Amino acid sequence: MTVSGVSSGSNSATAGLASDTNTIAGNFDTFLSLLTTQLKNQNPLDPLDTNQFTSQLVQFSSVEQQLKSNSFLQSLVQSTQNSQNNAVVSYIGKTVTSSGINSDLSNGQATWSFNLPQAANVQVTIKDANGNQVYSEKGSLAAGNGQFNWDGTKTDGTTAPDGTYSISIDAKTAQGAYVAASTQSTGVVSGVDFSGSEPSLIVGTSNIKLSDVTSVRAPS
């Protein structure tokens, strides 16, 4: 279960803000030093113009405000990222459905969701991770959404080992016209991976991007 990196996704954003803040802080210190030196060494017979001095004080205040804004923004980004990551962790143990053809066979159960735009005669083919066909079935399906559940029994009657399997649905109308069937994979989330630019859910041996998830259900 990959949960230890809950806040790692915000590292790049935090590092960028920290770098910008350090740059502004450096400029702020330089500005303050120059202003102090200028005041100390001004000519008593020709003192610093009041308007110019006021302008410099306004710049001083502006830089100070920018430093504070960056600090608040950094805290806000960190807090938002942590909240998002904590929300993603709550997916662990839930059943998710995502776009794709792969599903994991576990404890004699693998499930795919599908959609047919119209009723069709279909041939369902399941292959293992090496691309070898392990199961095939023909039948007819109505239009709409449905689920295909496989208990791991291969065509020859033996039991397939747990692992990742892919499905293909070859669908045609009674007149022989091809029907485009879309498939989705279903599985239980066992962990979360924060190493990429977007959190991904660990389902069996697969990593599913959060943006690819189409539904989340409590375990049955």
Quick: pLDDT tens for 160-196.
998 889 999 999 998 989 999 888 888 888 888 888 7
Q: What is the CATH number of the domain that holds 146?
A: 2.60.40.4070
Q: Which tens digits make up the pLDDT trace of 187-213?
A: 888 888 888 777 888 887 778 888 788
Give the tokens for residue 93: 């143990």
For the cut 80, the answer to whether the pLDDT of residue 17 exceeds it is no
Q: What is the mean pLDDT of residues 1-12?
A: 38
149 and 167 part of one domain: yes
Distance CA 80, CA 44 (A): 54
Last residue of a domain, one of 27, 55, 89: 89
* Domain enclosing residue 46, as ranges: 8-89
Domain boundary among 89, 119, 135: 89
Task: Assess whether 182 and 85 both reside in one domain.
Answer: no
Q: Do residues 69 and 174 both lie within one domain? A: no
Q: Cα–Cα distance between 88 and 94 in angstroms, integer? A: 11
Question: Of 35, 55, 89, which residue sits at a domain end?
Answer: 89
Cβ(115)–Cβ(181) under 8 Å?
Answer: yes
Instruction: Clarify whether residues 34 and 113 are in a common domain.
Output: no
- Asked whether the whole model's pTM tops 0.75, one would answer no
Return the CA Rg of the chain.
Answer: 30
Per-residue pLDDT reduced to its tens digit, 78-122? 666 666 777 788 888 888 888 888 888 888 888 888 889 999 999
Instruction: Band the pLDDT of 24: cuts 50, 70, 90.
Output: low
Tell me if 1 is assigned to some domain.
Answer: no
